[in-house]
Amino acid sequence: MNVRIEDMPDLRVACIHAPGPYATAAPQAWQELSAWMGHNQMLTFETLFVGVLGDTPCGLASESTGYDAGVSVPQHIEADGYVSVRIIAGGPCATIVHKGPHKTLAEVWASLYWEWLPASGRITREAPCVEVYLNAPDSTPDHELLTRLHLPLSPI
Tell me, what amino acid is at 71?
V
The number of helices, as runs of H, and strands, as runs of E, in the chain is 3, 8
How far is residue 83's CA from residue 79's CA, in Å, rounded to a whole number? 5
- Say if residue 71's pLDDT is above 80: yes
What would the pLDDT profile of 126-154 be if each residue is shown by its tens digit? 888 999 999 998 899 999 999 999 999 99
Q: Show the domains of the chain with their CATH numbers.
A: 4-152 (3.20.80.10)
Averaged pLDDT for residues 97-117:
93
Residue 44: the pLDDT is 86
Whether 96 contacts 149, CB under 8 Å: yes
Q: Measure the CA angle with vertex 105, ends 103 and 111; round to 5°.
A: 140
Please, which pLDDT band fits residue 104 given cuts at 50, 70 and 90? very high
Q: 131-140 contacts: CB < 8 A, separation 24 or more?
A: 131/50, 131/51, 131/53, 131/105, 132/48, 132/49, 132/50, 133/49, 133/50, 133/51, 134/97, 137/102
Q: Decide: pTM greater than 0.75.
A: yes
pLDDT for the residue 61: 46
Window from 9-13, 36-40, 144-148, 149-153 with minimum mean pLDDT: 36-40
Are 147 and 134 in contact by the 8 Å Cβ rule? The answer is: yes
pLDDT reading at 19 higher than 80: yes
